[in-house]
Structure 1
């Protein structure tokens, strides 16, 4: 039996029946029969914690794709998730909740401007264009990705949803970028009326276009519409808007940049774009 180490705050505790949706080397995605929690993930420790995932140490099991297949039956009883075909058992009852950010009640524009500069420099150092030309800003990175953005976010936020499904991979670049935008809007939703309006306008369009992207990406976008984001994304936005400590920014940036082939960088680009448009314009 394997012990789940951490759990997201939206992970189910009640019994469910389900099936494996998809499996990767260190991740299993499960669809359940629960209306409130239709998607659950089992993720390796090195992957970013999400609101609907249990993090586990899969070290002794090798490549999960050799063990688990899409369509395999899954069920949870008494806090224990079982995949009978793979003889895989995960006890979730002792899993610890990962810490969420606190509400942001005050914004300091000078501090945000400084932290933005630190994050943009970190993104630029990480990203190199195909011709080995250094990307010098978040704006240049967004252009490199080929994403669509309005000149003024407040006037045409719906334009951003044209990016849904744009790019390659399990979570296309356009989706990751949009997640970053939504994460910033969500963080100041309660204290900045303009952010709440923009968020709602984007959300209305996203709901109508989830079919344009992958199932996995649609899941994360759906979570974002309810203002739920992965642990690294939550904390990076929080630190960019609140912390005085430069090393804290650097650590949070490194955690996000390590996500996927480019997912972390794409999400950071969305975060920085939204900060520029919403809080520094």
Structure 2
């Protein structure tokens, strides 16, 4: 008999796919807090997450602090039966009582004074509390390889920002693509940075909202330049879908006070080894571009 767990919450589309028996596949990868499933129907990755992970695109959070206890293996079969998601004969997940969640970004405000103020606070906070090793360079103990990687990340993000600030989108596209797959981590630093940037471009009413096609053009180049897990994050981000903690941070930047900003920013900075910091710096890049395009500096 498989172990059974109920889902605490899940992305609306994922739950609907289970209820419509529209998911068969296999286990793509396993980690302590997440299990990734490759879906035969659309080729996307779906994630089963422990309670230590927040809501996200294609994600189902189940009532378990760790997923190691289920002994799930790569290539285990995944299927739906009677509205229950099964992973081989090891785990059955019930979604009938799960809270349904969907990624919705806030709108960009007409008055950008709060953004200007919070952006300065955010940069200062990341400088002090952000995790080094990706976009933020290590101060000590850096190997020659890490030093070269930091140099490349710094150079390419600077050129990308310059392209965006000066509305040279062809140049910006070239430098954005050069970041894909670059840097350490399961989701490379360059990819995480682009996820943050994509979020800001997808803010309704923002100056760069008209450049949404930029995200799709970057994505078209990403498939063969990075791994499947990171590609899925980029794919979802290109249409404005991201983890709940990141949405809370964006809302705090646009509308929140200092306390809200630091609380939500700190949560994002804890993501991965340096992923949260890399993503947050991508948000900074997009916000600077929006402020410049809107006549702010």
TM over 0.5: yes
Change (3 A) 1:162 1:255: same
Partner of 2:264: 252
1:22 to 29, 32, 35: 29
Matching of residue 148 in structure 1 with residue 156 in structure 2 = yes
Change (3 A) 1:107 1:242: farther
How far is 1:164 from its partner? 0.4
Partner of 2:198: 182
Gaps of 5+ in 1: 134-141
Change (3 A) 1:147 1:96: farther
Partner of 2:60: 54
Residue 253 of structure 1 aligns to a residue whose secondary structure is helix
Change (3 A) 1:209 1:102: closer
2:279 to 267, 272, 275: 267
Distance in 1 of aligned mates of 2:33 and 2:6: 15
Conserved in 1, the CA contact under 8 Å of 2:8 and 2:99?
A: yes
Conserved in 2, the CA contact under 8 Å of 1:164 and 1:210?
A: no
Gaps of 5+ in 2: 142-149
Q: Where in structure 2 are the equivalents of 1:182-261 lying within 5 Å?
A: 182-188=198-204, 191-192=205-206, 194-243=207-256, 245-261=257-273
The CA deviation string for residues 126-177 of structure 1, in whole angstroms up to 9 with x for no partner, is 13543359xxxxxxxx868435132131213202121000012210000000
1:170 to 186, 201, 206: 186
Residue 209 of structure 1 aligns to a residue whose secondary structure is coil
Q: Where in structure 2 are the equivalents of 1:131-146 lying within 5 Å?
A: 131-132=139-140, 145-146=153-154
Matching of residue 278 in structure 1 with residue 285 in structure 2 = no
How far is 1:276 from its partner? 1.1
Partner of 1:116: 119
Change (3 A) 1:143 1:49: farther
Distance in 1 of aligned mates of 2:215 and 2:104: 23
The CA deviation string for residues 225-268 of structure 1, in whole angstroms up to 9 with x for no partner, is 2221111122211221122x221111110110110001000000
Matching of residue 67 in structure 1 with residue 75 in structure 2 = no
Change (3 A) 1:62 1:102: closer
Residue 182 of structure 2 aligns to a residue whose secondary structure is coil
Conserved in 2, the CA contact under 8 Å of 1:21 and 1:71?
A: yes
What number of residue pairs does the alignment pair up?
Answer: 265
Residue 73 of structure 2 aligns to a residue whose secondary structure is coil
TM-score, normalisation: structure 1 = 0.86
Change (3 A) 1:122 1:148: same
Distance in 2 of aligned mates of 1:174 and 1:80: 37
Residue 107 of structure 1 aligns to a residue whose secondary structure is coil
TM-score, normalisation: structure 2 = 0.81
Conserved in 2, the CA contact under 8 Å of 1:49 and 1:230?
A: yes
Distance in 1 of aligned mates of 2:13 and 2:282: 24
1:5 to 1, 4, 8: 8
- Following TM superposition, the consecutive aligned residue runs of length 4 or more in structure 1 with deviations greater than 6 angstroms are none
